[in-house]
């Protein structure tokens, strides 16, 4: 498969590395430093935090120190987005945890990308397993929301992942490929998309995929993207791992070549989040 050359030095370097490191004409993965995929760590606060508790989180983020080479995003409950954006350290971005697929209307309880942009929010988390399971969001709806968010200038963390039942049935790749294909059917430009692979069975359970298990899925997904979307997207898109990431296991997970960051739940509410941010030095 021929990879198009971009004019930038990064793309020229990528082409040289492809020839050096790949044994297959159809798939390849790169280390973060080689491809220049910036490590990105997201903290998903979910439905947690009073203002005083959030101020405590902001305090340990300000104390840091936070790796300047890592992109940091916190997913904040909607009513606190403006407060966190106004008080977070300059190098910490703020994300909404959801938004709908239209700009306004009779959709009680929803918020739109237009509203998020209006208060200066640049990121949104979409397709989280809790949205898919508890609120019955389909692959199609998630894809429509991703497309509309992007069209309104938001950057998106798009979540995918399999349940324990699906994993035990050997359907991990089938599920994550299907979920990614649904998004690919709706968008053409992946520049502002980060994919978060979150094995549902490892979210909030204390269980975690081994670094090798996580790497296998990330590598398979990157190869699928290369073959079904484009090699350029496969080589540049960042794929986070989400699933009971802690300060204790983050460094080993971060050492895997196709893991480009984390989407962290409960640990993002604790000071150990700083260690997770600094997992790749």
Question: Which of 128, 130, 218, 272 is labelled catalytic?
Answer: 128
Most confident of 14-18, 209-213, 269-273: 269-273
Per-residue pLDDT for 274 more than 50?
Answer: yes
Cα distances from 120 to residues 79, 108, 215, in angstroms, run 14, 22, 34
What is the predicted pLDDT for the residue at 253?
Answer: 96
pTM metric for this prediction: 0.87
pLDDT, mean of residues 204-211 = 79
What is the predicted pLDDT for the residue at 20?
Answer: 35
pLDDT grade, residue 4 (50/70/90)? very low
What is the predicted pLDDT for the residue at 205?
Answer: 73
Mean pLDDT of the chain: 89
Buried b / exposed e over 115-138, threshold 16 CB at 10 Å, is bbeeeebbbbbbbbbbbbeeeebe
How far is it, in rounded angstroms, from Cα 12 to Cα 260?
A: 21
What ranges do the domains of the chain cover?
A: 38-277
What is the predicted pLDDT for the residue at 35?
Answer: 57
pLDDT, mean of residues 141-164 = 98
Question: Which of 34, 144, 198, 272 is labelled catalytic?
Answer: 198
Per-residue pLDDT for 257 more than 90?
Answer: yes
pLDDT grade, residue 157 (50/70/90)? very high
38-277 CATH fold:
TIM Barrel (3.20.20)
pLDDT, mean of residues 249-263 = 97
| Count of residues making up the chain | 281
H or E stretch covering 238: strand 238-241
Per-residue pLDDT for 47 more than 90?
Answer: yes
* DSSP three-state, residue 215: helix
128 catalytic per annotation: yes
pLDDT, mean of residues 172-184 = 98
83 catalytic per annotation: no
Residue 154: phi and psi, rounded to 5, are: -85, 155
Q: What is the DSSP string of 162-197?
A: --HHHHHTT-HHHHHHHHHHHHHTT-S--TTEEEEE
């Amino acid at each position: 498969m021929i990879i198009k050359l971009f004019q930038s030095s990064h793309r020229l370097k990528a082409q040289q590395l492809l020839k050096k490191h790949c044994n297959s004409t159809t798939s390849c993965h790169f280390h973060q430093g080689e491809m220049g995929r910036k490590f990105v760590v997201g903290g998903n606060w979910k439905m947690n935090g009073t203002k005083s508790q959030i101020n405590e989180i902001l305090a340990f983020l300000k104390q840091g120190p936070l790796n300047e080479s890592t992109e940091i995003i916190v997913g904040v409950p909607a009513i606190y987005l403006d407060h966190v954006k106004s008080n977070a350290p300059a190098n910490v971005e703020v994300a909404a945890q959801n938004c709908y697929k239209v700009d306004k209307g009779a959709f009680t309880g929803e918020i739109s990308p237009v509203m998020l942009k209006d208060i200066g929010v640049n990121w949104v988390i979409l397709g989280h397993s809790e949205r898919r399971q508890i609120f019955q969001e389909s692959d199609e709806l998630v894809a429509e929301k991703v497309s509309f968010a992007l069209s309104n200038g938001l950057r998106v963390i798009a979540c995918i992942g399999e349940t324990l039942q699906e994993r035990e049935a050997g359907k991990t790749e089938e599920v994550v490929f299907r979920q990614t294909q649904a998004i690919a059917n709706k968008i053409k430009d992946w520049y502002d998309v980060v994919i978060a692979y979150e094995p549902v069975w490892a979210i909030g359970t204390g269980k975690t995929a081994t670094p090798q298990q996580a790497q296998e899925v990330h590598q398979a997904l990157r190869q699928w993207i290369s073959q079904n979307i484009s090699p350029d997207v496969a080589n540049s898109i960042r794929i986070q791992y989400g699933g009971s990431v802690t300060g204790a296991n983050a460094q080993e997970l971060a050492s895997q070549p196709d893991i480009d960051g984390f989407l962290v739940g409960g640990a993002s509410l604790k000071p150990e989040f700083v260690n997770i941010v600094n997992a790749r030095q």
